[in-house]
């Protein structure tokens, strides 16, 4: 049993398929889903929650691999430590490649890797939480349910995390081949992208009316799907997470509204149906007129122009405009093309916006290291496989080739070059399959581009050309059927592709008239999306970011490329990045086809083990040498182990180093050394031991030097004091001598005076002469001691306590430097007050005053003093003194804690380290009265009031509190009320922009300017209902009312005539009426 529970399969004594499968099965039954193959991690999807990720993440930090069980956190830690240069090699870019079938757990593995890397590089920044929020955002827009996976990634992404030292400084997302055709068509058992169900379940009824949304079964693009109560709750939570992720990353409110409106327009567009009209001109059906109006309002275009773009094509030939009418099928294709392109560009804009908001804010000359995580679609083989499946499987062929090249080809080639005694391990090389797809000019993609260039070519022509070119190829099989189809023998399995739609999806064109129509849309986001250009790799480049991207892509964006060519180029760029980095591999295994927990299908698992080449991988990891540094690289890195400086970087030095380390199992070639996968960790451990020893030596050396310096300073102080005492003694002696001389002089003067008196007494008596009176000294003026001038006198410093002697390390608090610091502090304080007054005051004021827990700009010590005698859970919020932000001070069990509150670029508030953004401070406080603040999960219970009623703590901010004026009440005007009911959103009737019921509508324009001024002066608190709405909301609302009226009429006529209803998605039938 112990043998079967081996954590590293490379250590198995018997290596065959049976022992490999038995080992994985036994570990899976004990919920041990992670297993090593040397330095490669195998992960089996459990299809259930396991308590493997709740333990302290610091356990997998600079850990010994043998001391802890296999875990995906260990891979994240190894990549992070290797990027920093702590794993026996210098700092180098890393990449983590996650591969496996659809439903094997690649997306969840990506989220776990990101989570642990952000924990390892945790710093005092909100950037880590923003990066973690990217995954749920992209999942909502890029994932969908398939028959193989409920949360299948319908696009590929490569996440580049960029680091400066140990902290993350930015991130970039590279996306590959979004499956846009899913927007307009899903096979049985599949669904559209998650975001549509999130919107329809999570948006409230009032907002649905604003966006023009109905129930999900009303929409053809959703196949008439209805949501149960459990599904509504599930998708509502997902929608809340998506909105929070947008707020955390930094999306503006108006951008979110425009984006949701465009998505609603895509759904409305799908319900437009056509029928023949007068002549050859098409017209929309009676039940689709309302949907056309709704789609035009949601897209921000004119209804007539949208209809014209769908039913005809305008072209200019020799200066003459030619109008070509569409057939019904062409009009429906144009409708679906608009929906696919619009959704694809929304998704591309989201990725571009995320990259813009998470771009590194550092000097461009600073070198950043990188960890890349590849989460790409798994190998797929459905009942019907189309163009997207071909591209997805091609990407998996590329990844398999990268794995084979790194593990087998490159390694065994070096064995041969270095003349090692090695028995060649054969593996399944998929290079011929890649040549079948990518060879120019006769590869599958080249022939597809060639046929796509001919307007009259058909899918049958394309498949016939493939059959004629590749009928003898071992990896290609001809299919005899009525529909165009062909089969490719991939590395994983044989896949039959349905050729219908290959040319159209590869072209991915949109008529110029539609592009011009949307560029002129009144919705800024839609105009931006269609004015943007597409790079050579298929990346959306908005106009403002175009110049920065052109240099990177080096591509003339005016030249249109096919989807296949873009995907081929993007795969090439991806492989270049991966070959330039040190790879780490995670092989995900799917235990069964039914997505059931605790069920293991041995034959299904064995198929995956075989086509992934895991048996051969175990053999080469057990017998081979995965680390192969040159003599120079090894000597440069590990010369410290000899404790000798300036050793030659040659073979003899390497031998000397290895002989001192007592490491066994390595071998030496002609130009490089060959090590097992565990040798790198052992050498890194030796370097770490030496580094810790060096730290101890440095610590003691610095202690000795500091002690020596201290003794020198003490001796110098003693000498100074001795010299001072000697100087004082000398001055005392001089003063005594001076006093003696003065006494002698006074005695001599007294004797002389007495002699004079005696002489005078001997003279005859004469009348006395009066002496002049001495002038009485005037008293000092009182103003010299007190008065206005006394305020300018320097304060008398408090004397130092006699318990403390002066030391040579006392700081001088005076001087110009101190004055500069004081001036800078006051300057920052004034700037913060100005920021609060101009941008924040009215957001905090409620009902004419600040909340009781708001204490203005007080110091940290003052806040702690206020909470000293308060109960546990008491809190207050204060303005930062030196930054534009707030601090929440919380009374904890043993101490006060201070949480920084930051403002996002979109005006949202978030506690540093939290994963939720809030529209206001009050919302933040109310939320954390129910949800604890991480990491201690502390609840806000008791607000800390002001210290006294007469002088509040925010006295310097008190002048900002406005007093609302009294507004006279007037009777509502019926005309204004009717117009408001038609054109103003139901939740904005009290907003400043709403019609005033107390005055006629003709006076509204006259009073607009006065109303805006009054709003700026009198508005105490922002109205939570005052939020952005779609640009053409009145048109959307009228269109939705028309749709509902038509549906009601159709429902009534159906009830009267007893006619069988149409299918569930019919736009004129509502199931909830």
The proportion of the chain whose per-residue pLDDT surpasses 70, expressed as a percent, equals: 83
How high is the pLDDT of residue 894?
Answer: 84
The string of DSSP letters for 267-328 reads HHHHT--EEE-STT-EEE-GGGHHHHHHHHHHHTS-HHHHHHHHHEEEEEETTEEEEEEPPH
Nearest-angstrom CA–CA distance, 259 and 1031 = 12
Q: Are strands 485-489 and 494-498 parallel, antiparallel or unpaired?
A: antiparallel
Q: What is the mean pLDDT of residues 868-889?
A: 90
Nearest Cα residue to 119 out of 169, 65, 52, 168: 168
Q: Residue-wise over 99-124: b if at least 16 C-beta within 10 A, else e?
A: bbbbbbbbbbbbebbbbbbbbbbeee
With beta carbons less than 8 A apart as the criterion, state whether 481 and 496 touch.
Answer: no
How high is the pLDDT of residue 411?
Answer: 86
Asked about 88 being catalytic, the answer comes back as no
Asked about 378 being catalytic, the answer comes back as yes
pLDDT per residue as tens digits for the range 761-809: 776 655 666 666 666 666 555 444 444 444 444 444 444 444 344 444 4
How high is the pLDDT of residue 962?
Answer: 52
**From the candidates 19, 107, 109, 475, which is the catalytic residue?**
107
Q: Of the ranges 281-285, 751-755, 1064-1068, which one carries the lowest mean pLDDT score? A: 1064-1068
pLDDT per residue as tens digits for the range 94-124: 999 999 988 899 999 999 999 999 989 887 6
How high is the pLDDT of residue 935?
Answer: 84
Asked about 319 being catalytic, the answer comes back as no
How high is the pLDDT of residue 955?
Answer: 61
The proportion of the chain whose per-residue pLDDT surpasses 90, expressed as a percent, equals: 44
Q: What is the mean pLDDT of residues 246-257?
A: 93
pLDDT per residue as tens digits for the range 522-548: 999 999 999 988 888 788 887 654 343
* Greater pLDDT, 85 or 779: 85
pLDDT > 70? residue 1007: no
Highest mean pLDDT among 298-307, 639-648, 832-841, 1064-1073: 298-307
**From the candidates 128, 217, 370, 380, which is the catalytic residue?**
380
**From the candidates 153, 404, 430, 475, which is the catalytic residue?**
153
Asked about 393 being catalytic, the answer comes back as no
How high is the pLDDT of residue 999?
Answer: 45
The string of DSSP letters for 154-178 reads SSEEEEEEEEETTEEEEEEEEEE--
Residue with tokens 């899913």: 182
How high is the pLDDT of residue 848?
Answer: 77
How high is the pLDDT of residue 313?
Answer: 84
**Does residue 441 have a cis bond before it (omega within 30 degrees)?**
yes
**From the candidates 35, 93, 149, 396, which is the catalytic residue?**
149
Nearest-angstrom CA–CA distance, 240 and 924 = 16
Distance separating the N- and C-terminal Cα atoms of the chain: 63
**From the candidates 143, 152, 244, 617, which is the catalytic residue?**
152
How high is the pLDDT of residue 679?
Answer: 84
pLDDT > 70? residue 246: yes
How high is the pLDDT of residue 1001?
Answer: 43
Within 13 Å of residue 160, how many CA atoms lie on the same side as its CB? 19
**From the candidates 378, 564, 613, 880, which is the catalytic residue?**
378
Q: What is the mean pLDDT of residues 300-320?
A: 85
Nearest Cα residue to 849 out of 745, 764, 1015, 964: 964
Asked about 107 being catalytic, the answer comes back as yes
pLDDT > 90? residue 365: no
Measured from the Cβ of residue 456, the count of other Cβ atoms closer than 10 Å reads 5
**From the candidates 35, 82, 99, 102, which is the catalytic residue?**
102
pLDDT per residue as tens digits for the range 177-189: 899 999 999 988 8
Q: What is the mean pLDDT of residues 1043-1058?
A: 72
Asked about 103 being catalytic, the answer comes back as yes
What mean pLDDT, rounded, does the chain reach? 83
Q: What is the mean pLDDT of residues 885-906?
A: 91
Residue with tokens 């670029």: 905
Q: Of the ranges 347-361, 811-825, 934-948, which one carries the lowest mean pLDDT score? A: 811-825
Confidence of residue 954 (pLDDT cuts 50, 70, 90): low
Asked about 592 being catalytic, the answer comes back as no
> CB within 8 A of 563, min separation 6: which ones?
177, 387, 391, 505, 506, 507, 508, 538
With beta carbons less than 8 A apart as the criterion, state whether 523 and 258 touch.
Answer: yes
Confidence of residue 550 (pLDDT cuts 50, 70, 90): very low
Asked about 102 being catalytic, the answer comes back as yes
How high is the pLDDT of residue 625?
Answer: 86
Residue with tokens 């995906």: 72
Q: Residue-wise over 238-250: b if at least 16 C-beta within 10 A, else e?
A: bbebbbbbbbbbb
């Amino acid at each position: 049993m112990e043998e079967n529970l081996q954590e590293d399969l490379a250590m198995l004594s018997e290596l065959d398929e049976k022992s490999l499968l038995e080992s994985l099965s036994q570990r899976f039954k004990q919920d041990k889903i992670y297993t090593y193959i040397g330095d490669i991690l195998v992960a089996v999807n459990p299809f259930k929650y396991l308590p493997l990720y709740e333990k302290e993440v610091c356990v997998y930090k600079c850990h010994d691999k043998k001391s802890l069980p296999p875990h995906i956190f260990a891979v994240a830690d190894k990549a992070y430590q290797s990027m920093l240069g702590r794993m026996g090699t210098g700092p180098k870019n890393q990449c983590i490649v996650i591969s496996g079938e659809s439903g094997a757990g690649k997306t969840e593995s990506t989220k776990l890797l990101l989570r642990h890397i952000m924990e390892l590089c945790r710093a005092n920044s909100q950037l880590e939480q923003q990066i973690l929020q990217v995954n749920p955002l992209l999942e909502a827009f890029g994932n969908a349910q398939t028959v193989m996976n409920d949360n299948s990634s319908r696009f590929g992404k490569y996440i580049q995390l960029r680091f400066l030292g140990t902290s993350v400084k930015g991130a970039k997302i590279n996306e590959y081949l979004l499956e846009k055709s899913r927007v307009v068509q899903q096979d049985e058992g599949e669904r559209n992208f998650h975001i549509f169900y999130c919107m329809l379940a999570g948006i409230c009824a009032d907002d649905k009316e604003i966006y023009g949304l109905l129930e999900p079964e009303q929409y053809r693009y959703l196949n008439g799907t209805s949501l149960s109560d459990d599904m509504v709750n599930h998708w509502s939570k997902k929608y809340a997470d998506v909105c929070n992720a947008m707020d955390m990353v930094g999306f503006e409110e108006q951008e979110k509204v425009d984006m949701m409106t465009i998505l609603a327009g895509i759904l409305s567009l799908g319900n437009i149906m056509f029928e023949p009209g007068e002549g050859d001109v098409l017209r929309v059906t009676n039940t689709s007129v309302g949907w056309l109006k709704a789609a035009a309002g949601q897209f921000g275009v004119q209804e007539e122009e949208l209809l014209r773009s769908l039913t005809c094509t305008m072209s200019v030939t020799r200066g003459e405009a030619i109008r070509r009418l569409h057939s019904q099928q062409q009009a429906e294709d144009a409708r679906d093309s608009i929906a696919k392109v619009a959704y694809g560009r929304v998704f591309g804009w989201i990725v571009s916006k995320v990259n813009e908001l998470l771009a590194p804010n550092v000097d461009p000359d600073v070198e950043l290291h990188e960890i890349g995580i590849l989460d790409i679609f798994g190998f797929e083989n459905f009942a019907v496989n189309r163009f997207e499946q071909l591209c997805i499987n091609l990407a998996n062929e590329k990844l398999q080739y990268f794995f084979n090249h790194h593990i087998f080809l490159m390694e065994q080639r070096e064995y041969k070059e270095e003349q090692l005694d090695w028995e060649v391990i054969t593996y399944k090389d998929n290079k011929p399959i890649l040549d079948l797809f990518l060879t120019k000019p006769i590869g599958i993609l080249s022939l597809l581009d060639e046929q796509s260039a001919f307007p009259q070519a058909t899918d049958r022509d394309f498949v016939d050309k493939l059959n004629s070119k590749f009928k003898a190829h071992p990896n290609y099989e001809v299919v005899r059927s009525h529909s165009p189809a062909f089969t490719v023998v991939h590395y994983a399995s044989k896949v039959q592709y349905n050729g219908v739609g290959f040319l159209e999806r590869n072209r991915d064109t949109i008529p110029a008239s539609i592009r011009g129509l949307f560029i002129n849309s009144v919705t800024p986001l839609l105009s931006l999306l269609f004015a943007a250009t597409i790079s050579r790799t298929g990346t959306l480049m908005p106009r403002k970011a175009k110049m920065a991207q052109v240099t990177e892509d080096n591509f003339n964006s005016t030249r249109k490329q096919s989807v296949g060519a873009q995907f081929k180029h993007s795969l090439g760029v991806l492989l270049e990045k991966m070959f330039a980095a040190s790879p780490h591999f995670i092989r995900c295994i799917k235990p069964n086809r039914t997505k059931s927990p605790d069920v293991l299908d041995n034959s299904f698992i064995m198929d995956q083990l075989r086509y992934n080449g895991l048996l051969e991988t175990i053999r080469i990891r057990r017998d081979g040498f995965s680390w192969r540094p040159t003599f120079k690289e090894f000597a440069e890195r590990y010369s410290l182990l000899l404790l000798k400086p300036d050793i030659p970087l040659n073979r003899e030095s390497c031998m000397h180093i290895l002989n001192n380390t007592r490491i066994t199992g390595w071998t030496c070639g002609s130009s490089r050394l060959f090590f097992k996968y565990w040798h790198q960790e052992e050498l890194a451990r030796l370097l770490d031991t030496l580094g810790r020893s060096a730290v101890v030596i440095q610590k003691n050396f610095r202690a000795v030097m500091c002690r020596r310096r201290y003794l020198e300073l003490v001796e110098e102080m003693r000498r100074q004091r001795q010299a001072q005492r000697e100087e004082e003694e000398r001055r005392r002696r001089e003063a005594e001598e001076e006093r003696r001389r003065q006494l002698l002089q006074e005695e001599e003067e007294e004797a002389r005076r007495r002699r004079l008196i005696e002489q005078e007494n001997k003279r005859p008596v004469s009348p006395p002469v009066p002496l002049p009176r001495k002038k009485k000294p005037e008293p000092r003026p009182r103003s010299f001691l007190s008065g206005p001038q006394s305020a300018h006198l320097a304060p008398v410093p408090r004397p130092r306590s006699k318990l403390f002697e002066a030391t040579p390390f006392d700081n001088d608090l005076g001087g110009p430097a101190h004055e500069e610091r004081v001036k800078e502090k006051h300057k920052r304080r004034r700037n913060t007050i100005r920021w609060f007054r101009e941008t924040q005051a009215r957001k905090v004021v409620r009902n004419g005053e600040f909340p009781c827990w708001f204490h203005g700009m007080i110091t940290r010590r003052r806040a702690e003093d206020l909470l000293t005698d308060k109960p546990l859970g008491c809190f207050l919020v204060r303005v930062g003194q030196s930054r534009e932000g707030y601090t929440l001070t919380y009374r904890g069990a043993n101490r006060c804690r201070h949480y920084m509150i930051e403002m996002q670029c979109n005006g949202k508030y978030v506690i540093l380290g939290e994963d939720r953004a809030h529209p206001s401070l009050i919302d933040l406080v109310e939320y954390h009265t129910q949800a604890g603040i991480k990491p201690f999960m502390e609840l806000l219970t008791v607000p800390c009031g002001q210290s006294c009623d007469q002088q509040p703590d925010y006295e310097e901010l008190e002048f900002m509190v406005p007093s609302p004026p009294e507004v006279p009440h007037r009777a509502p005007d019926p005309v204004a009320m009717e117009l408001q009911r038609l054109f103003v959103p139901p939740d904005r009737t009290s907003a400043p922009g709403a019609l005033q019921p107390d005055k006629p509508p003709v006076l509204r324009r006259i009073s607009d300017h006065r109303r805006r001024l009054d709003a700026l002066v009198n508005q105490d608190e922002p109205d939570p209902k005052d939020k952005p709405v779609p640009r053409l909301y009145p048109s959307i609302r009228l269109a939705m009312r028309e749709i509902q009226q038509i549906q009601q009429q159709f429902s009534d006529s159906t009830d009267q005539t007893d006619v069988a209803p149409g299918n569930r998605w019919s736009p004129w039938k509502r199931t909830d009426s």
